[in-house]
Amino acid sequence: MTDKEVLPWVLGMWLVEFGAKSGRYFPYKRRGFPYPSAEAALREAIAIGESESLKGVEFGGLYHLQMQMKFRNDFAELDQVVERLAEIADSRFSTQVAIVANCYAALHARQGDFAAAYEDCERFMAASEAANEPMVERWAHCITKFQVLLADRKPREAAALLSELLPRLDGGARKRTQICILAAAALESLWDQGPRYGDRLKLFMEALRDIAWPMVLLNVPELLAELLGDALERGIEPKLCRSLIRERRLDAPQRRPTAWPWPLKVHVLGGFRLELDGNPLNLGAKPSTKALDILRVLAISKDNTCSLETVQDWLWPDLDGDQARAACEQALHRLRKLLGRTDLIVQREGKLRLASDKVWVDLADWDARLKSVTTANGEAAGLRPEAEALFLAFPGPLFLHERASFWSLAAAEKVRRDLIDLGLRIGQRLETTGNVQEARSIYLRALDLYPDAGPVCKALIRERLSRRDVEGAVDDYARYERALRGAGEAAPAAEIRALVEPYLVRHTR
C-alpha cells in the first residue's frame, strides 16, 4: 500500500477483496492502518476505479459496499449505488447483468414497487441461466427472489421457491436455505395469527443459533426485527437476538416491544425510574430535579415531543424569557451528561423530543396496548382476551409517591380514567359470564390503585347487593368513605350513598 509503483488495478482489487472479507467475516483494525473500516477500503477502491477508469475495480467495490450497507441496515445511499452499478455494468457479461438486476430487485421491493421487483427477478434469473452459473452462484439470486416474495407478504410462495432447491444443495447453502424456509413459515403464522407461531419462531431461532448466519433476511431487516422482537418477548434465544440486533443495527418494530434492547427506558407508571442499556440508572444522591423534569415532561407529552417554550413555561414559570432559556439549556446539558449520550433527546425547530428509535416509555407502551385490547364501541364485549393480563400488569399511577406538578395532572387523570374504565369493563364481562369472584378481584385491584374510584366502588356495591350481601355492601361503602377522607375529597357521590342508604342505620345498630 505504501509502494508508489503498485499498479492502481492491483491496489484497487486488493482493496475490494480486503473490504469484502473484513466487512463480512474478519473485521480488521490495527493502529496506523490507513483504512479504519472495511467500508473505507471499499470507498477507496471505488475512487481508484472511477479516477483510473477501471470499471471492474469500481464495480466490485460498489457491489460489496451495497452488501455492507444492507448488513448495517443503512439504505440511505442504496439507490445511488445501484444506479452507478447499472451505469458501469458491461452488458457483455451476464454475471454483471444478473448482479445489477439482483440489486434493483432488492431496491424496488423496499420501495414497494413489486411489479418492477418481479421483472428484475426474471432478468437476473435469465442472465444467470445464460451465463451457465453454477448453483452456488444462482443460490444468491434465489435468496433475493425469496426476500422479494416475503416483502410482498407471500411467505408460502417464498418457501416453495426454496424448497424446490433443497435437493440440489448441500453444506452451508443447504442449511441457510432451510433457515430461510423456517423464517417464511414463522412469518406466515405471524401474519395469519396462527396458533403455531410460537413453535415456528422457536424452530427458526434455534436453527439460526446453530448455524450462526448474521446475514439472514439481508434485504428485509424489518421482518427480521419483527421475529427477533417476538423472540425476545417470549424468551427465545435472547442472547442471540440481542447480538443480531446490535450487529445488524436493526430498528425496533413498529409495535415497539418492551423486551427490545432499548438504549434508554423511561418508567413513569408506578414511580419514576430509568434504565440505560438494560441496567437501572443511578440518579445519584442529589439528582438535578429540573433536568429530570425535562425527561418527565417529554415522557408524558404526545409523541414524546414538547416545544421548548412550553418546557420553559412549565418548569421555570418565574423566570423571564432569556433566563428561562438559559436555565433550560443548562438543565438539558445536565440531563444529557447524566444519560451519557447526546442522541437520546433531539432538539430541532424549537422542539424537544425523545429519539423514538432509541427511547422506550412505559406510558406510551401502556396506551398502545390498551388500544390493542379494546374496541371503538366501548362495550365490555369488545375486550380482547389479553385485556385482563394488561390490567393486572399495570405498574401503578403516574409518578407514584412523587409530589404532583400542575403540568402532569392531565396525564395522571387520563391514566386513572383509562385504568378504571378497563377494570369496569373486565369486571362487567366477568359478571355477565357468572365469574363473580373474579369480577370482585378486578374491582378490588382497581381500588388498590385508586382507592377513591367512585365508579368501581359503585360496581362493587351493586355486585354485593345483587347477591343480597348487605353487610358486605355497607363495608365496601365504608371503605370508600375512608378513602375519600384520606384523599381530602368531599362527601361521597349521592348515587353511591343511595345504594346503601336503606341499610346504613340498620347496619350501624
The pLDDT tens digits for 22-44 are 877 777 777 778 888 889 999 99
Q: Does 8-248 match 262-404 in CATH topology?
A: no
Contacts of 119 (CB under 8 A, 6+ apart): none
**For the domain bounded by 262-404, which CATH number is listed?**
1.10.10.10
Residue 356, exposed/middle/buried by CB under 10 A (0-12, 13-18, 19+)? Answer: middle
Residue 351 β-bridge partners:
307, 348
Q: What is the mean pLDDT of residues 266-270?
A: 97
For the chain, the 3-state helix, strand and coil shares in percent, each to the nearest 5, are 65, 5, 30
Helix ranges restricted to H, 234-376: 238-248, 289-300, 308-315, 321-339, 362-373
The pLDDT tens digits for 8-19 are 899 999 999 999
pLDDT at 508 over 80: no
Contacts of 348 (CB under 8 A, 6+ apart): none
Does domain 8-248 correspond to CATH entry 1.25.40? yes
pLDDT at 352 over 90: yes
pLDDT at 279 over 60: yes
Q: What is the mean pLDDT of residues 245-273?
A: 95
Cα Rg of the chain (Å, integer): 30
Q: Which residue has the higher pLDDT, 96 or 490?
A: 96
Q: What is the mean pLDDT of residues 273-278?
A: 95
Residue with cell 387520563: 414
Which of 106-115, 376-385, 412-421 bottoms out in mean pLDDT, i.e. has the lowest? Answer: 376-385
Q: What is the mean pLDDT of the chain?
A: 91
Residue 295 has a CB neighbour count (10 Å cut-off) of 25
Predicted pLDDT of residue 310: 96
Whether residue 362 contacts residue 269, with contact meaning beta carbons closer than 8 Å, is answered with yes
pLDDT at 334 over 60: yes
Predicted pLDDT of residue 3: 62
Q: Where are the domains of the chain?
A: 8-248, 262-404
Predicted pLDDT of residue 471: 85
Q: Where are the beta strands (DSSP E) in 96-212?
A: none
